[in-house]
A and B are shown apart, each in its own frame.
Chain A
Amino acid sequence: MTQRQDLPQFEDHSKQEHRYTTCYMCACRCGIKVTVEDEKIRFVQGNPDHPVNKGVLCAKGNSAIMKQLSPAKLTQPMLRKPGTERGAGEFEPISWDAALDMLTARLANIRATDPKKLAYFTGRDQMQALTGLWASQFGTINWAAHGGFCSVNMAAAGLYTMGHSFWEFGDPDWENTKYFMMWGVAEDHASNPIKLGLKRIKERGAKFVAVNPVRTGYQAIADEWISITPGTDGMFALSMVQVLLREGLIDDEFLIRYTNAPQLVINNPGKQGDGLLLRDAEGNPQIWDQHTSGVQSALSPDVAPALLGEYEAPCGTPVRTAFSILMEKYMAPEYAPEAAAQVCGISADDIQRIALEMAHVAFKETITIDTQWTDWAGREQSQFIGRPVSMHAMRGISAHSNGFQTCRAIHLLQVILGTIDCPGGHLAKPPFPKHIVPPIKPAKGNAPNTPLESAPLGFPTQPEDLVIDENGQPRRIDKAYSWDAPIANHGLMHMVISNAVAGDPYPIDTLMLFMANMAWNSSMNTAQTMDMLRAKDHNGDYKIPFIVTCDAFHSETVNFSDLVLPDTTFLERYDTISMLDRPISEIDAACDSIRQPILAIDRDVRSWQEVMVDLAGRLKFPAFTNDEGQPKYQDYKDFIVNFERAPGIGFLAGWRGKNGEKSLRGEPNPNQWQAYKDNQCFFKFDLEPNQKYMRHANKDYMELAKEAGWVGSTDQIVIELYSETLQKFRLAGQGLYDGPQPTQKHHQERLKTYFDPLPFYYAPLEQQRTDAKEYPFYAVNQRPMFMYHSWDSQNSWLRQIMSQNYLYMHRSKGEALGIKDFGWAWIESHNGRIRAQVKLMEGVNPETVWTWNAIGKQQGAWGLSDDANESQQGFLMNHLINELLPGENEAGGQRMTNSDPITGQAAWYDLRVKITPVSDNDDELAGQNLSWPRFDKVKPLPNFTPATKMSSYSSHPNINLSRGWRDIFSRGEK
Chain B
Amino acid sequence: MKLGLVIDLDTCVGCHACGTACKQWNTSGTIGPLSDERPYEKDPSGSWLNRIRTYEVGDSPHSKTVNMPMSCMHCEDAACVTVCPTGASYKREEDGIVLIDQDKCMGCNLCSWACPYGARELDPNSGTMKKCTLCVDRIYDEQLPEAERQPACVLTCPTSSRVFGDFDDPDSQVSKLSRQRAGQQLMPELGYNPVNTYLPPRNPKQQDQIKVSAVQGIKQLVNRIINR
A330 to chain B, nearest CB (A): 12
Chain A CB within 8 A of B36 CB: yes
Tell me, in angstroms, the Cα distance from A246 to B219 when the chains sit together. Answer: 9
Tell me, in angstroms, the Cα distance from A300 to B139 when the chains sit together. Answer: 63
Q: Are B13 and A217 closer than 8 Å at their CB atoms? A: yes
Q: Mark A937-969, 1 if CB is under 8 A from B, else 0.
A: 000000000111111111110111111000110
Q: Mark B16-52, 1 if CB is under 8 A from A, else 0.
A: 1101110111011111111111111111111010000
Known: A45-B156, A56-B156, A308-B221. A963 touches B228 (CB 8 A): no
Q: Are B20 and A797 closer than 8 Å at their CB atoms? A: yes
Tell me, in angstroms, the Cα distance from A162 to B20 when the chains sit together. Answer: 39
Chain A CB within 8 A of B159 CB: yes
Chain B CB within 8 A of A199 CB: yes
A722 to chain B, nearest CB (A): 17
Chain B CB within 8 A of A707 CB: no
Q: Are A62 and B24 closer than 8 Å at their CB atoms? A: yes
Q: Are B103 and A960 closer than 8 Å at their CB atoms? A: yes
Q: Are A842 and B59 closer than 8 Å at their CB atoms? A: yes
Q: Are B226 and A952 closer than 8 Å at their CB atoms? A: no
**Chain B hits for A842, CB < 8 A:** 56, 58-60, 63
A325 to chain B, nearest CB (A): 14
**Chain B hits for A217, CB < 8 A:** 13-15
Which of B15, B36, B101, B212 contacts A356 (CB under 8 A)? Answer: B212
Q: Are A59 and B15 closer than 8 Å at their CB atoms? A: yes
Chain A CB within 8 A of B117 CB: no
Q: Are A59 and B19 closer than 8 Å at their CB atoms? A: yes
Known: A3-B142, A796-B40, A967-B90. A301 touches B125 (CB 8 A): no
Q: Are B210 and A360 closer than 8 Å at their CB atoms? A: yes
Q: Are B60 and A843 closer than 8 Å at their CB atoms? A: yes
User: Which residues of A, 347-395, contact B by the 8 Å Cβ criterion?
Assistant: 353, 356-357, 359-361, 363-364, 377
Q: Are B21 and A57 closer than 8 Å at their CB atoms? A: yes
Chain A CB within 8 A of B104 CB: yes
B71 to chain A, nearest CB (A): 15
With both beta carbons as reference points, the residue of chain A lying nearest to B123 in the complex is identified as A952
Q: Are B223 and A306 closer than 8 Å at their CB atoms? A: yes
Known: A301-B228, A958-B33. A248 touches B217 (CB 8 A): yes
A243 to chain B, nearest CB (A): 10
Q: Are B156 and A57 closer than 8 Å at their CB atoms? A: yes
**Chain A hits for B59, CB < 8 A:** 811, 842
Known: A42-B28, A199-B159, A796-B44. A62 touches B99 (CB 8 A): no
Chain A CB within 8 A of B79 CB: no
**Chain B hits for A841, CB < 8 A:** 56
Known: A3-B141, A306-B223. A863 touches B159 (CB 8 A): no
Q: Are A198 and B31 closer than 8 Å at their CB atoms? A: no
**Chain B hits for A1, CB < 8 A:** 139-140, 149
**Chain B hits for A430, CB < 8 A:** none
Q: Are A219 and B65 closer than 8 Å at their CB atoms? A: yes
A296 to chain B, nearest CB (A): 10
Chain A CB within 8 A of B114 CB: no
With both beta carbons as reference points, the residue of chain B lying nearest to A296 in the complex is identified as B228
**Chain B hits for A948, CB < 8 A:** 39
Chain A CB within 8 A of B136 CB: yes
Chain A CB within 8 A of B186 CB: no
Q: Are B42 and A872 closer than 8 Å at their CB atoms? A: yes
Known: A7-B136, A179-B210, A221-B10. A65 touches B24 (CB 8 A): yes
| Contact segment of B168-176, B188-196, B199-207 | B199-207
**Chain A hits for B136, CB < 8 A:** 7, 961
Tell me, in angstroms, the Cα distance from A246 to B11 when the chains sit together. Answer: 36
**Chain B hits for A801, CB < 8 A:** 16, 19
Which of A786, A946, A950 contacts B36 (CB under 8 A)? Answer: A950
**Chain A hits for B20, CB < 8 A:** 59-60, 62-63, 786, 797-798
Tell me, in angstroms, the Cα distance from A954 to B15 when the chains sit together. Answer: 24
Q: Mark B101-135, 1 if CB is under 8 A from A, else 0.
A: 11110000000000000000000111000000100
Known: A949-B38, A958-B31. A7 touches B213 (CB 8 A): no
B212 to chain A, nearest CB (A): 4
User: Which residues of A, 193-251, contact B by the 8 Å Cβ criterion?
Assistant: 195-196, 198-199, 202, 205, 207-208, 215-224, 245-250
Tell me, in angstroms, the Cα distance from A196 to B24 when the chains sit together. Answer: 22
Q: Mark B60-80, 1 if CB is under 8 A from A, else 0.
A: 100111110000000000000
How many interface residues does chain A have, given as a range? Answer: 35 or more
Tell me, in angstroms, the Cα distance from A199 to B16 when the chains sit together. Answer: 16
Chain B CB within 8 A of A932 CB: no
Chain B CB within 8 A of A623 CB: no
**Chain A hits for B40, CB < 8 A:** 71, 794, 796, 799, 863-865, 868, 946-947
Q: Are A62 and B28 closer than 8 Å at their CB atoms? A: no
Q: Are A2 and B17 closer than 8 Å at their CB atoms? A: no
With both beta carbons as reference points, the residue of chain A lying nearest to B215 in the complex is identified as A247
Q: Are B46 and A800 closer than 8 Å at their CB atoms? A: yes
With both beta carbons as reference points, the residue of chain A lying nearest to B20 in the complex is identified as A62
Chain A CB within 8 A of B83 CB: no
Q: Are B15 and A58 closer than 8 Å at their CB atoms? A: yes
Q: Are B228 and A304 closer than 8 Å at their CB atoms? A: yes
Tell me, in angstroms, the Cα distance from A327 to B31 when the chains sit together. Answer: 67
Chain B CB within 8 A of A773 CB: no
Chain B CB within 8 A of A426 CB: no
With both beta carbons as reference points, the residue of chain B lying nearest to A961 in the complex is identified as B30
Q: Are A357 and B66 closer than 8 Å at their CB atoms? A: no
With both beta carbons as reference points, the residue of chain B lying nearest to A844 in the complex is identified as B60
Known: A1-B149, A57-B17, A960-B101. A247 touches B216 (CB 8 A): yes
Q: Are B143 and A13 closer than 8 Å at their CB atoms? A: yes
Which of B64, B218, B226 contacts A248 (CB under 8 A)? Answer: B218
Tell me, in angstroms, the Cα distance from A247 to B219 when the chains sit together. Answer: 8
Q: Are B87 and A207 closer than 8 Å at their CB atoms? A: no
Tell me, in angstroms, the Cα distance from A257 to B48 when the chains sit together. Answer: 57
Q: Are A48 and B147 closer than 8 Å at their CB atoms? A: yes
A593 to chain B, nearest CB (A): 19
Q: Are A199 and B11 closer than 8 Å at their CB atoms? A: yes
**Chain A hits for B99, CB < 8 A:** 961, 963
Chain B CB within 8 A of A256 CB: yes
Which of A46, A246, A864 contacts B41 (CB under 8 A)? Answer: A864
Which of B14, B27, B221 contacts A216 (CB under 8 A)? Answer: B14
Tell me, in angstroms, the Cα distance from A179 to B213 when the chains sit together. Answer: 14
**Chain B hits for A42, CB < 8 A:** 28
Tell me, in angstroms, the Cα distance from A10 to B32 when the chains sit together. Answer: 13
Q: Are A252 and B224 closer than 8 Å at their CB atoms? A: yes
Q: Are A4 and B140 closer than 8 Å at their CB atoms? A: yes
Which of A253, A357, A959, A960 contacts B210 (CB under 8 A)? Answer: A357
Q: Are B101 and A961 closer than 8 Å at their CB atoms? A: yes
Tell me, in angstroms, the Cα distance from A356 to B207 when the chains sit together. Answer: 11
**Chain A hits for B16, CB < 8 A:** 59, 785-786, 801
With both beta carbons as reference points, the residue of chain A lying nearest to B157 in the complex is identified as A56
Tell me, in angstroms, the Cα distance from A71 to B124 when the chains sit together. Answer: 21
Tell me, in angstroms, the Cα distance from A304 to B226 when the chains sit together. Answer: 5
**Chain B hits for A800, CB < 8 A:** 36, 44-46, 48
Jot down 19 A-B pairs with beta carbons below 8 A, ordered by A. A7-B136, A59-B15, A59-B19, A179-B210, A249-B216, A302-B228, A304-B226, A353-B207, A786-B15, A786-B20, A800-B36, A800-B45, A810-B60, A865-B38, A951-B39, A954-B32, A960-B101, A961-B133, A967-B90
Point out residues on A near B: beta carbons under 8 Å. 1-4, 6-7, 10-11, 13, 42-46, 48, 53, 55-63, 65, 71, 179, 191-192, 195-196, 198-199, 202, 205, 207-208, 215-224, 245-250, 252-253, 256-257, 290-291, 300-309, 327, 353, 356-357, 359-361, 363-364, 377, 785-786, 794, 796-801, 803, 810-812, 841-843, 846, 863-865, 867-869, 872, 946-956, 958-963, 967-968, 971-972
* A-B residue pairs, 10 tightest by C-beta: A248-B220, A796-B39, A968-B87, A195-B158, A220-B65, A842-B63, A62-B20, A59-B16, A223-B205, A952-B33
A61-B17, A216-B54, A971-B90 known, 10 other contacts, Cβ within 8 Å? A13-B143, A63-B20, A195-B15, A223-B204, A360-B211, A360-B213, A800-B48, A842-B59, A961-B30, A963-B101
